[in-house]
Amino acid sequence: MARRAIVAANWKMNGDLTLVNTMVTGLTNVELQDNVSVVICPSTPYLSSLVTKVKAEQLNTAICIGAQNVSEHESGAYTGEISTKMLRDLSVEFAIIGHSERRSYYKETSTQVAHKVNAALNAGLTPILCIGESEAERATEQTETVLASQLQPVIDEVGIEKFIDVVIAYEPVWAIGTGKTASSEMAQETHQFIRQFLAQANENVAAKVPLLYGGSVNASNCEELFAQADIDGGLIGGASLQVEQFKIICSAAKGK
């Protein structure tokens, strides 16, 4: 089975209804290569409007909708949280889980992230599992140790076989929103480690898991990054707020 490429837009706490409309309209004529999926993840208040706009433009097969977070709980007294069932009711297909900003600002642990991945899978959502090291951890050669410590709890929770339905986004924390980008060689080396780490548990599954790179990906560097053997697309931050730049990034992705 060919490994699909994914370009996911993480708008973070940015955007508005105008961006929803201009982005979807702008993507009506984007040229995607075979086996490429585009996922747009707006803030929760705009999920419904985005779904409506995508359906109106008949782009359901070209654009998928994703949430930026999801609760590990099915329901209950969790003010401000959003459940997997709520997302499914809105025709949401993906959920970003474990982003470094969630881990840092909201103290999400790898164990909690594993619970969220499990909840998403059980609901039929595709988790975009984010992992990544800090600049200090990279400088002290702890990258592989950190990534392994973020991946293993999820493997323990859901089992390696379930990773056939998981997308992994490697985002070096030092490159998120900073303008710094790992070189294509550095990114490939780390992605290769991630795939090899998964392969220790199941080689067949590891070969099929889409691995995305995130960290100041833009229209200028996307083609070189996406050409790497183990980079299957990107989780795009700032550049996903700019229609023309995001279209270029989407067009550069290719299935492997």
Looking at the annotation, which residues are catalytic? Answer: 99, 171
Residues 256/2, Cβ–Cβ less than 8 Å: yes
Determine the residue type at 206. A
**Cα 29 to the chain's mean position, in Å?**
23
**Cα 43 to the chain's mean position, in Å?**
14
Residues 253/7, Cβ–Cβ less than 8 Å: yes
DSSP string computed for 194-207: HHHHHHTT-HHHHH
**3-class DSSP assignment, residue 126:** strand
Query: Phi and psi at residue 9, in whole multiples of 5°?
Result: -95, 120
Within a 10 A sphere around the Cβ of 185, how many other Cβ atoms? 10
Residues 6+ apart with CB under 8 A from 250: 7, 27, 30, 32, 36, 38
